[in-house]
């Protein structure tokens, strides 16, 4: 099983994929009724040309499917790439799919992202969003403990509501939302994956989603190493 652990309890798992770097090459060459059976230097040059000149449709014939377990705050940032993919890909129809677990139907034990004492970050000096340098361990540990207490209170109220007969879709209102882990399947074209990576591997992206982007990159490299090298704007 191809899986990368992320944060304290999260992960990214490669569920399935369709294609390889060779898929990109053959999609580009189909108009000439040509097909490669093994990636050659000529094929690599073609991938570089396609990426450099913005001929992106061949990269949409390669597909990756991931299972992701991440805090809700990460999921909601990620979701923007699905909403915008139809416009970005220029196809009129999205090549992304997203199916997420719902607490309307399941009552599995809630799990929450809890930063350790040395993982809290300060506010940035010159920006209204993002974060700055790590804060002191003493202050961080204080807020770790306070967060754990807050989570415990929410879980207690959630479980009591279920016991009292409140439906799961309303009882979940008591759960602290942003740090709660959710699970989803993300299926996307190689081009969409690279668009996500180009933005979320940047140094100014939220650190938590950067860690998930790194996991996506590592899991994608074995099949699409050449294409990733060319479609990503820089070495991450």
Residue numbers annotated as active site:
200
Q: How many angstroms separate the CA atoms of 49 and 42, rounded?
A: 11
140 contacts 115 by C-beta, under 8 angstroms: yes
Backbone angles phi, psi at 128, to 5 degrees: -85, -10
Say how many residues make up the chain: 236
82 contacts 40 by C-beta, under 8 angstroms: no
Q: How many angstroms separate the CA atoms of 142 and 194, rounded?
A: 38
Residue 100's beta-bridge partner residues? 184
């Amino acid at each position: 099983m191809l899986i990368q652990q992320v944060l304290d309890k999260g992960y990214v798992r490669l569920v399935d994929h369709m294609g390889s770097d060779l898929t990109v090459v053959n999609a580009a060459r189909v108009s000439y009724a040509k097909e490669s059976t093994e990636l050659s230097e000529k094929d690599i040059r073609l991938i570089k040309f396609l990426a450099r000149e913005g001929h992106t449709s061949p990269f949409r014939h390669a597909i990756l499917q991931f299972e992701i377990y991440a805090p809700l705050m990460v999921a909601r940032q990620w979701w923007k790439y699905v909403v915008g993919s139809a416009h970005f890909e220029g196809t009129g129809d999205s090549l992304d799919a997203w199916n997420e677990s719902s607490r309307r139907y399941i009552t599995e034990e809630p799990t929450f992202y809890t930063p350790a004492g040395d993982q809290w970050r300060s506010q940035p000096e010159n920006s209204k969003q993002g974060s700055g340098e790590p804060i002191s361990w003493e202050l961080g540990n204080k807020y770790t403990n306070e967060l754990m207490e807050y989570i415990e209170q929410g879980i207690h109220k959630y479980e009591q509501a279920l016991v009292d007969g409140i439906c799961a879709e309303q009882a979940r209102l008591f759960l602290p939302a942003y740090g709660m882990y959710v699970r989803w399947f993300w299926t996307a074209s190689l081009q969409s994956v690279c668009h996500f990576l180009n933005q979320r591997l940047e140094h100014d992206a939220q650190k938590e989603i950067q860690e998930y982007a790194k996991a996506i990159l590592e899991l994608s490299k074995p099949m699409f190493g050449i294409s990733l090298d060319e479609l990503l704007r820089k070495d991450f």
